Structure 1
Amino acid sequence: MINILLIFIYLFIGLVLQRVKWFPTDSYKLLNKIVIYICLPALALYFIPKIHWNNQLLFPIGVAWITFGFSFVFFRFLGKKYKWSKKLTGCLIITSGLGNTSFLGFPIIQALYGADGMKTAILVDQPGTFVVLSTLGILVATLYSKGEQSSGQIVKKIMFFPPFITFLFACFMNVFGYDFLEWIQFIFQKTGSAVTPLALVSVGLQLRFESRSQHWKFLGLGLLYKLLLTPALIYFLYVIVLGQHSKMIDVSIMEAAMAPMITGSILAATHGLKPRLSSMMIGYGIPISFISLVFWYFILQWF
Structure 2
Amino acid sequence: MNLTLIQMTLIMACGAVWRFARPAGLPAEQTRLVLTTVVYYLLLPAMVLEVLWSADLGLHSFQYALLGMSSIAFAMFCIWTVGALFKFEDRRLGAMILAAAFPNVTYLGLPVLEQAFGGWARSVVIQLDLFAVSPLLFTVGIMVARYYGEEVVEKPRPLWLFFNAPPFWAAVIAVILNVNGFVAPVWLLGVLQKLSVAVVPLMLFSLGLALSWKALTVRNIPYVIPVIVIKMVLMPLFAMAMIGFLPINGEYRAAAVLDLAMPCMVLGIVVCDRYRLDSSLYAMAVTVTTAISLITLPFWHSVLMN
Q: Say if 2:66 and 2:132, in contact at 8 Å, map to a contact too.
A: no
Rounded to whole Å, the distance in 2 between the matches of 1:131 and 1:242 is 16
Q: Say if 1:11 and 1:203, in contact at 8 Å, map to a contact too.
A: no
Q: Say if 1:226 and 1:260, in contact at 8 Å, map to a contact too.
A: yes
Q: Say if 2:36 and 2:206, in contact at 8 Å, map to a contact too.
A: yes
Partner of 1:159: 163
Letter in 2 for 1:167: A
Partner of 1:7: 9
CA 1:11–1:98 in structure 2 vs 1: closer, same or farther (change >3 Å)? farther
Per mean C-alpha deviation after superposition, the further-off stretch among 230-239 and 192-201 is 192-201
Answer yes or no: is 1:285 the counterpart of 2:289: yes
Mapping of residues 179-198 of structure 1, within 5 Å: 179=184, 181-190=188-197, 192-193=199-200, 195-198=202-205
Mapping of residues 191-270 of structure 1, within 5 Å: 192-193=199-200, 195-204=202-211, 206-208=212-214, 210-212=216-218, 214-239=219-244, 246-262=250-266, 264-265=267-268, 267-268=270-271
Rounded to whole Å, the distance in 1 between the matches of 2:50 and 2:273 is 25
* Same amino acid, percent of matched pairs: 17
Answer yes or no: is 1:63 the counterpart of 2:71: no
Q: Say if 2:98 and 2:268, in contact at 8 Å, map to a contact too.
A: yes
Rounded to whole Å, the distance in 2 between the matches of 1:246 and 1:85 is 43
Q: Say if 2:109 and 2:262, in contact at 8 Å, map to a contact too.
A: yes
CA 1:2–1:77 in structure 2 vs 1: closer, same or farther (change >3 Å)? closer
Q: Say if 1:100 and 1:260, in contact at 8 Å, map to a contact too.
A: yes
Q: What's the CA shift for 1:76?
A: 3.9
Mapping of residues 83-98 of structure 1, within 5 Å: 83-98=87-102
Partner of 1:48: 52
Where 1:208 maps in the other structure, the secondary structure is: helix
Mapping of residues 137-176 of structure 1, within 5 Å: 137-143=137-143, 144-145=145-146, 146-147=150-151, 153-176=157-180
Q: What's the CA shift for 1:82?
A: 4.5
Answer yes or no: is 1:24 the counterpart of 2:24: no
Where 2:263 maps in the other structure, the secondary structure is: coil
Deviations 1:196-247 (A, max 9, x none): 144214313x4426352x32222222221111111110222233x5697644
Rounded to whole Å, the distance in 2 between the matches of 1:29 and 1:141 is 22
Structure 2: which 5+ residue stretches go unaligned?
A: none
Letter in 1 for 2:139: L
Rounded to whole Å, the distance in 1 between the matches of 2:140 and 2:38 is 21
Instruction: Give me the TM-score of the superposition, normalised by structure 1.
Output: 0.76
Where 1:153 maps in the other structure, the secondary structure is: coil
Letter in 1 for 2:241: F
Rounded to whole Å, the distance in 2 between the matches of 1:85 and 1:289 is 27
Q: Say if 1:39 and 1:194, in contact at 8 Å, map to a contact too.
A: no
Per mean C-alpha deviation after superposition, the further-off stretch among 280-289 and 83-92 is 83-92
Q: What's the CA shift for 1:189?
A: 1.1
Structure 1: which 5+ residue stretches go unaligned?
A: none
CA 1:150–1:68 in structure 2 vs 1: closer, same or farther (change >3 Å)? farther
Query: Over the residues paired in the alignment, what is the CA RMSD in angstroms?
Result: 3.7
Rounded to whole Å, the distance in 2 between the matches of 1:203 and 1:53 is 34
CA 1:40–1:269 in structure 2 vs 1: closer, same or farther (change >3 Å)? farther
CA 1:173–1:191 in structure 2 vs 1: closer, same or farther (change >3 Å)? farther
Rounded to whole Å, the distance in 1 between the matches of 2:248 and 2:172 is 31
Partner of 1:132: 132
Where 1:255 maps in the other structure, the secondary structure is: helix
